[in-house]
Structure formats: structure tokens, C-alpha cells
């Protein structure tokens, strides 16, 4: 059915609504997969006893790491496509044409952006998991969606608001974009500060931190 919808979209020069919905569903599935697998890997690195006790073999861990890297690259590639000259956001086309060094550098930056978001989310989850709060990652994702809504709701579609939880939903190379990059940078900086602070407090076993999760 995807092939038929693609042919129809190409024939009539518009993206069929069902094809767009399938694309968003695929992105959501990939994001959830990365979140779950990266959470497992970081839990192993941080020596979470419930995860370590599963005694997963090295080949499985490498396979999972490869899967996470591939998914981050795939998501980064999708977000980089927003700066393509063939894509328009709020009627404003991107600046990148073809596959030059600029396009490849943008894909690398976007992939790192996605990866760092997932890393920060899972570091927060691991930091609070040890203190009886088991829903750190879902809570952080909900908070990021709310922040994305506050930052972009006037001009972004609902799908872009949800995408803003994992990367900047607009164009990086277009300063006149209605989805300004500085707002995503502020969200990312806040997330990074929270992740770093909670990790430091957790490692040092600060008394006030333990009082939050008795």
C-alpha cells in the first residue's frame, strides 16, 4: 500500500495524507525503539542490578548498539531533510540541494542531536530509578513534548510538536524560519543541565536529593 500511495503522490505532486501518516508512525516507532534500547544499554553501563543480572551476551549488546546507532542515523537523516530545497515548512523551502559535503555534515549534526537527546533522557531515568521513581524517561518525554508545544505551537503541526521532543522540528539553516532554532537550543540546554545535575546529585548521594524520593 505504501508503494501505491507513493506512486499516487508522485503522479499528482502532493503527499497523500495516508502516506504522511505512515511516515509519522514510522518515525514514532523508531524513536520508541531507540529510547528503549538505549535505556537498556545505559542501564548496563551504569551497573543497574536488575539489568546486569539478566547476563546479556556481548554479541547481543553489540547488535543492540548497532541498532541504536542506525536508528539515530535514520532519524537524523529525516530531520536533515527539512533543510532540503525540495521540502517546505510553512511554505519556506530549505537551502540544501543534492548530496554534497554540506548535506552530509548536516545529517551528522542531526544524528548527534538525536543521540544526545536520548542519552540525556536516559541519564535522567537512570538517576531517578535508583530512588524508586520508575518512570523517569516517560516523564521526561512528556515534559519535552509540553516544552515543544509551548515553543512552537503557533506555527508547528501536531506532528512537529511531538518531533520537537527528540530534535529541532524546523530548519537549522534558515534564520527566517517560523520554528526558530534558538528555542530548541534552550530546550536542549535545559535537558542537559537537568541530566548532569541529577547524575552529580545521585553519585554524591546528596541528602536533599534522597529526600525527594524517600
Under the banding of pLDDT at 50, 70 and 90, the label for residue 60 is confident
- Alpha-carbon span 171 to 177, nearest angstrom: 7
Highest mean pLDDT among 7-11, 29-33, 60-64: 60-64
- Alpha-carbon span 210 to 181, nearest angstrom: 36
Of 67-76, 94-103, 105-114, least confident by mean pLDDT is 94-103
- Alpha-carbon span 178 to 155, nearest angstrom: 7
- Mean of pLDDT values over 174-182: 74
What region, left, alpha or beta, does residue 32 occupy, with left being phi > 0 and alpha being psi -120 to 50 degrees?
Answer: alpha
Cα dist from 56 to 40, 69, 102, whole Å: 11, 19, 40
Prediction pTM value: 0.75
Sign of CA dihedral 166, 35, 113, 24: negative
pLDDT-above-90 percentage for the chain: 1
For the cut 60, the answer to whether the pLDDT of residue 209 exceeds it is no
Under the banding of pLDDT at 50, 70 and 90, the label for residue 86 is low
pLDDT of residue 102: 76
For the cut 80, the answer to whether the pLDDT of residue 210 exceeds it is no
pLDDT of residue 214: 46
Under the banding of pLDDT at 50, 70 and 90, the label for residue 91 is low
pLDDT of residue 32: 80
Which three cell numbers mark 70?
542506525
Burial 87-110 (b: 16+ CB within 10 A, else e): eebeeeebebeeeeeebeebbeeb
DSSP assignment letter at 96:
B
For the cut 80, the answer to whether the pLDDT of residue 148 exceeds it is yes
Amino acid at each position: 500500500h505504501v508503494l501505491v500511495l507513493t506512486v499516487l503522490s508522485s503522479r499528482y505532486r502532493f503527499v497523500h495524507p495516508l502516506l504522511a501518516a505512515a511516515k509519522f508512525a514510522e518515525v514514532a516507532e523508531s524513536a520508541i525503539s531507540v529510547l528503549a534500547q538505549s535505556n537498556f544499554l545505559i542501564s548496563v553501563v551504569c551497573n543497574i542490578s536488575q539489568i546486569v543480572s539478566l547476563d546479556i551476551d556481548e554479541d547481543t549488546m553489540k547488535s543492540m548498539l548497532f541498532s541504536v546507532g542506525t536508528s539515530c542515523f535514520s532519524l537524523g537523516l529525516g530531520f536533515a531533510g527539512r533543510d532540503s530545497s525540495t521540502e517546505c515548512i510553512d511554505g519556506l523551502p530549505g537551502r540544501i540541494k543534492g548530496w554534497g559535503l554540506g548535506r552530509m555534515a548536516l545529517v551528522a549534526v542531526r544524528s548527534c542531536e538525536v543521540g544526545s537527546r536520548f542519552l540525556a533522557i536516559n541519564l535522567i531515568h537512570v538517576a531517578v530509578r535508583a530512588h524508586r521513581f520508575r518512570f523517569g524517561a516517560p516523564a521526561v518525554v512528556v515534559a519535552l513534548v509540553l516544552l515543544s508545544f509551548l515553543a512552537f505551537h503557533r506555527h508547528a503541526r501536531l506532528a512537529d510538536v511531538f518531533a520537537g521532543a527528540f530534535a529541532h522540528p524546523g530548519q537549522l539553516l534558515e534564520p527566517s524560519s517560523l520554528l526558530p532554532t534558538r528555542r530548541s537550543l534552550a530546550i536542549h540546554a535545559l535537558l542537559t543541565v537537568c541530566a548532569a545535575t541529577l547524575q552529580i546529585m545521585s553519585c554524591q548521594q546528596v541528602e536533599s536529593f534522597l529526600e525527594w524520593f524517600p
